[in-house]
Structure 1
């Protein structure tokens, strides 16, 4: 078919390309480009620009959130570190107070034991003195009794020994 058109064009002596059509198509193409630029590419570029700005702001917001999260995580680590240090300090203080209370209790118990010991010693001394006084009274009364019996009787040496042994036995039973 092209050969026929070429042959027919050659037969009529017409140029193969029509310059008017080319100029008309070029003007239409330029008008179409201008219209596309104004009504299609302009809004499309505006939308693309808005989308680009939106994505950039989302990236910035994400970076800010990431930085804030890192900051909060660091603050939490510091808070946890401080809390652990405070807990360790509280435990140490409680241990020291426990040791001090233990020492105070031991000291108080020792003082009480010493006080009881001294009190017991004083009681023993008093009891001893009372026992000695009672023994003296008994010895004195026995001596008077022995003397009165000796006076009443004149005894032989054997009877005196027997009498002394009886009194000593009575004293031992009276104790």
Structure 2
């Protein structure tokens, strides 16, 4: 075996190899029991923790999305309510404007009617006064005509004279 030692540069001892193999297997068993098991347990707990965090984040994202959708729906409803309020206000303004215009027209018509009545009354008074003056003048003219016999020219002069007096009385 001397030739084998020279070729390998060291002697191979089967007993040492066997002892190292047994020690390695025992070491693997101890590592599996005391190091690998706890390490795998920690890794499993970490995996579960990360999975829980992912689930929580997903739930939070869904909740945030739901809240955002709710907020958008409320905002849309608020905009619709605001638009409805604006439309109602416009309609109310139009109604009030129409009512005010109708009231103003009625008041103007009432004032015009009152003015017409006043004008008619004043015209009636003026006609009545004129009739009284004409009657008075007629009586005066008739009494003058009866007192004396007048020619046509004298009658015309007398009528003109009385008409001039009526014109001065106005």
TM-score between both structures, scaled by the size of structure 1: 0.81
Pick one of 137, 140, 146 that aligns with 2:135.
140
Count of residue pairs brought into register by the alignment: 167
TM-aligned CA deviation for residue 153 of structure 1: 4.9
* Map of 1:58 onto structure 2: 53
Hey, what does 1:158 align to over in structure 2? 153
Measured in 1, the distance between the counterparts of 2:28 and 2:168 equals 148
Separation (CA, whole Å) in 2 of partners of 1:90 and 1:133? 63
SS for the counterpart of 1:168 is: helix
Higher relative CO (CA 8 A, sep ≥ 6), structure 1 or 2?
1
1:95 pairs with 2:90? yes
Greater mean alpha carbon deviation, residues 108-117 or residues 142-151: 142-151
| Alpha-carbon shift at residue 18 of structure 1 (Å) | 2.7
> TM-score, with normalisation over the residues of structure 2?
0.83
What pairs with 1:75-86 in structure 2 (closer than 5 Å)?
Answer: 75-86=70-81
Shift of 1:42: 2.3
Q: Distance in 1 between matches of 2:129 and 2:83?
A: 68
Q: Aligned-pair distance for 1:4? A: 7.3
Instruction: String of CA shifts for 1:118-145, please: whole Å, max 9, x gaps.
Output: 2222112211111111111211222233
2:166 maps to 1:167: no
In structure 2, the residue matched to 1:29 is: 24
Aligned residue number for residue 6 of structure 1: 5
Q: What whole-Å deviation, never above 9, does each CA across 1:99-121 have from its counterpart, x for those lacking one? A: 21122122212222222222222
Instruction: Please state how far the C-alpha of 1:60 moved relative to its aligned partner.
Output: 0.8
- Partners of 1:105 and 1:132 lie apart in 2 by 40
Structure 1 residue ranges without an equivalent (≥5): 8-15
Distance (Å, rounded) in 2 between the aligned partners of 1:166 and 1:43: 147
Structure-1 separation of matches of 2:140 and 2:30: 159
Superposition misfits of 4+ residues, deviation over 6 angstroms? none
* Unaligned segments of structure 2, at least 5 residues: none
CA-based RMSD of the aligned residues comes to: 2.5
SS across alignment from 2:101: helix
